[in-house]
Structure 1
Amino acid sequence: MIETQKKVLIVEDDILLLLVQERMVKKFGYVVVGTACEGEAAYRMIKRYKPDVILMDINLEDDIKGTEVAQMIRQEGNETPIIFLSGEKNSKQVQKAKQLGFVDYLLKPVTPKKLRESLERALNYEAQINPYAA
């Protein structure tokens, strides 16, 4: 049986961090199906590419926050696992993210070890909610 590579969408407004995250994700053996710096672009890519996991920064380049993108897809019934990334420990943001459901909330900069563990948790979560996705 051939195992398909899992698809990851990276949403990050800091281009340098985006490139670092993309490199790490690829090194872990996942496919990066797209990258976005803005909430609106992220929303379109989620609908188009149907990633297995979303790495989502909270503060983005446009007026749409990562938590708002998550809320939009959740309202449509999309349960794709989300790993939120943020440079802030802002408790309001953490609470908002918790309400939307997430696999992890990582503070930037994130280490390769933490990112890998978080991606593995996200994929295990996806397998639990959708056993046919594995």
Structure 2
Amino acid sequence: MATRKNVMIVEDEAITAMYLQKEISGMGLNVCCVADTGRKAIDYASSNQVDVILMDIRLKDNIDGINAAMIINNNIPVIFHTAFADEETMARASQTRPVAILEKPASLAQIRESISRALKKN
């Protein structure tokens, strides 16, 4: 039996996080962690198996999703999911070489396709 792939969701809006968790679990994937801060994401990824990260850019603490992705940098594919698509933010996010940058609200099809690409890459 194949092991289910682990997806970490980094999202500080509780309703969005619950929706994403439900949909990603429905894809047959394991949501291994839902973190609401960059620090929690970094701590979790440093000591657990994570196959892909769905990362919001603006988070509650002083470590945004882009900085968290740079710090984690364990060759874990990152998909950014953000409401902030200004030029400066997109340029910073692109430097981390994400699998995708999805603008909120992303469709379920976009999320599925991006996760599929990330898992193939990994």
2:96 is the counterpart of 1:100: yes
Q: Secondary structure at the match of 1:100?
A: coil
- Pair 1:8 & 2:7 matched: yes
Match of 2:60 in 1: 61
1:48 Cα offset (Å): 2.1
Shift, 1:26, TM fit:
0.2
Identity of counterpart residues, as a percentage? 34
The one-character-per-residue Cα deviations of 1:4-31 (angstroms, maximum 9, x if unpaired) are 1100000001110000000010000000
Secondary structure, in 3 states, of the residue corresponding to 1:4? coil
1:89 aligned onto 2:85: yes
User: Within 5 A, what are the aligned runs for 1:2-41?
Assistant: 2-41=1-40
Out of 111, 119, 122, the position equivalent to 1:123 is: 119
CA drift of 1:50 comes to 2.2
| Letter aligned with residue 93 of structure 1 | T
More helix by share: 1
- Structure 2 unaligned regions, length at least 5: none
TM-score by length of 2: 0.96
- Deviant stretches of 4+, over 2 Å: none
Amino acid at match of 2:116: E
Give the superposed CA RMSD.
0.8
The alignment's TM-score, normalised by the length of structure 1, stands at 0.88
Cα-to-partner distance string for 1:68-87 (whole Å, 9 max, x where unaligned): 0111122xxx1100000100
Structure 1 residue runs of 5 or longer lacking an equivalent are 127-134
1:132 corresponds to:
none
Larger Rg: 1
| Whole-angstrom CA distance in 2 between matches of 1:90 and 1:49 | 32
Structure 2 CA distance, aligned partners of 1:100 and 1:113? 23
In structure 1, distance between residues paired with 2:91 and 2:82? 13
Which residue of 113, 124, 128 corresponds with 2:109? 113
